[in-house]
Homo-oligomer: A and B are copies of this chain.
Amino acid sequence: MAYHLLQRDQRGAERLAHALSHALETIRHCEKCNSFTEVEVCDLCLSPKRDAHVLCVVETPADMMMMEQAHCYRGMYFVLMGRLSPLDGIGPREIHLDRLVRRATDGIVQEVILATNFTVEGEATAHYISELLTPRGIKVTRIARGLPVGGELEHVDSGTLAQAVLERRNVA
């Protein structure tokens, strides 16, 4: 791409440079959900159609986009912009947990859904956050683990199958 721009499209290179510096100047984090935005509070956080009683915690803006594309959730978000990872020097402060606690204890939020990944770091982050919020009287939930939709026992790894049996649910 660099060669193409320099050899064949110098005007394009100029436009790209301007666009990037403009983005660097204007893109900031939303005051409420911490995702990328150009304004103080992003459109999603301002929307009256969203349910302000539920707050979903995700690791990245890409995860937030996945949730929106699944059309399964109408509440608010908080984007950590990372996950706890002590070896990389990422602690509670780097993923803005102080702001998350303030956001979750605003008196409107009634449930916090932890939708961090099911990796070791994502699980540790979810556990840490639940330890922070549960003593403050907030209902904390975690998205489910188990077999995928359309999944068959024969084609699933044994760790996932074990978890699906362990976390089985009552049939109403």
Contacts and interface: CB of A to CB of B under 8 A. Distances in A.
Contacts of A171: 114, 126, 130, 134, 140-142
Contact of A145 (B58, B66, B119, B144): B144
A57 to B, nearest CB: 11
Contact of A72 (B66, B73, B166): B166
Contacts of A126: 171
Given A142-B168, A162-B72, A154 B63 contact: yes
Contact of A150 (B66, B72, B118, B166): B118
16 contacts: A63-B153, A66-B153, A72-B158, A72-B161, A72-B163, A72-B166, A73-B165, A113-B168, A117-B151, A119-B150, A139-B170, A142-B171, A143-B168, A145-B149, A145-B151, A150-B159
A71 B161 CA distance: 10
The copy count of this chain in the complex is 2
Contacts of A24: none
B71 A152 contact: no
A158 B66 contact: yes
Given A67-B165, A145-B147, A169-B141, A117 B157 contact: no
Contacts of A143: 146-147, 161, 164-165, 168
Contacts of A156: 66, 148
A63 B144 CA distance: 22
Given A115-B165, A167-B169, 19 more contacts: A56-B165, A59-B153, A60-B154, A67-B165, A71-B162, A72-B163, A72-B165, A113-B168, A114-B171, A118-B149, A118-B150, A141-B169, A143-B146, A145-B148, A145-B164, A146-B146, A146-B164, A149-B160, A169-B169
